[in-house]
Amino acid sequence: MNRGKQLYEGKAKILYETDDPEVLLQYFKDDATAFNAQKRGTIVDKGVCNNRISAALFTYLEGKGVRTHFVKQVDDRSMLVKRVAIVPLEVTIRNITAGGMSRLLGIEEGIVLTPPVFEWHYKSDALGDPLINDDHILSQGWATAQELARIRSESFKVNDALKAFFNERKIDLVDFKLEFGRFKGTILLADEISPDTMRLWEHGTRTKLDKDRFRRDLGDVEAAYKEVLRRVLGEKSQAVGAAQ
Ligand code: C5P
């Protein structure tokens, strides 16, 4: 599959066309941004870690019945994905308070949420991805009621599956962000699933193994991404070259 014209460059990834009009190549960069790109930096080998972690998690989720845009991993930093039209919404599911929810409601971090909290955000860098509800979405025509129901149920399926996956690896899944796209009349899970888009705390010690190490200048950022990759891949991590 040849890499064609660059379609789009985002903060952490680049999308290229391929020989197949229905398939794109998603390339993962080492660039890191936080606080709506006010903070910028580089996390060495982040692209390799996030590509491999996303590939493994999309494959795992497909096995659990979640339909995703993932086609296959091509190399260390790229994967083939179906060419979806991204729904301009970001879903957040929170199992433990942290980040935005702690700030919004003045609640300390680390409190287990029962039931988990589901949030819609409007995908807009200019507006800082504001928190919205179903009525905002329907009134603006960003998605249909049927699509919202589908995205919500798929998101909870992802939460159940990923919570169990990380629990086995002694990691607490604190929260995460998902994006979905339309492809031939169906809704597919899209974008990436990585320590850039999830909060992951080591079970017991609550050591942060995610982008909060970069956001909050906690140090050992690269080591945290590599540790997540190691735990996600399990025995297969023996074969990891560049990310060691
Ligand atoms: O900042 P906040 O607490 O709302 O983030 C919730 C989750 O969504 C975190 O895991 C964060 O990494 C992720 N997120 C993201 N992209 C954004 C905003 C948040 O991946 N634009």
**Segments making up each domain of the chain, as ranges:** 6-82, 85-219
- By three-state DSSP, how is residue 45 classified? coil
Asked whether the beta carbons of 179 and 90 are under 8 A apart, the reply is yes
Q: For residue range 148-182, what is the model confidence (pLDDT) as tens digits?
A: 999 999 999 999 999 999 999 999 999 999 999 99
CA–CA gap between residue 171 and residue 14 (Å, rounded): 29
Q: Ligand 1: does its nearest atom lie under 6 Å from the Cβ of 92?
A: yes
Judged against a pLDDT cut of 70, whether residue 13 lies above it is answered with yes
Calculate how far, in angstroms, residue 178's C-alpha sits from the geometric centre of ligand 1.
Answer: 9
Calculate how far, in angstroms, residue 154's C-alpha sits from the geometric centre of ligand 1.
Answer: 18
CATH class in words for 6-82: alpha beta
Judged against a pLDDT cut of 70, whether residue 241 lies above it is answered with no
pLDDT at res. 238? 52
CA–CA gap between residue 80 and residue 75 (Å, rounded): 10
pLDDT at res. 239? 46
Judged against a pLDDT cut of 60, whether residue 60 lies above it is answered with yes
Tokens of 188: 């597919």
Calculate how far, in angstroms, residue 140's C-alpha sits from the geometric centre of ligand 1.
Answer: 23
pTM of the model: 0.96
Contacts by 207-213, CB closer than 8 A, 24 or more apart: 209/171, 211/32, 211/34, 212/98, 212/99
Judged against a pLDDT cut of 70, whether residue 190 lies above it is answered with yes
Calculate how far, in angstroms, residue 118's C-alpha sits from the geometric centre of ligand 1.
Answer: 12
CA–CA gap between residue 155 and residue 188 (Å, rounded): 11
Q: Ligand 1: does its nearest atom lie under 6 Å from the Cβ of 31?
A: no
Judged against a pLDDT cut of 90, whether residue 183 lies above it is answered with yes
CATH number for the domain running over 85-219: 3.30.470.20
Nearest CA to ligand 1 atom 15: 197
pLDDT mean over 46-56: 98
Which atom of ligand 1 is nearest the CA belonging to 199?
10
Calculate how far, in angstroms, residue 197's C-alpha sits from the geometric centre of ligand 1.
Answer: 6
Q: For residue range 95-151, what is the model confidence (pLDDT) as tens digits?
A: 999 999 999 999 999 999 999 999 999 999 999 999 999 999 999 999 999 999 999
pLDDT band at 237 (very low <50, low <70, confident <90, very high): low
Q: Ligand 1: does its nearest atom lie under 6 Å from the Cβ of 213?
A: no
CA distances from 223 to 31, 89, 140, 227 (A): 16, 31, 42, 6
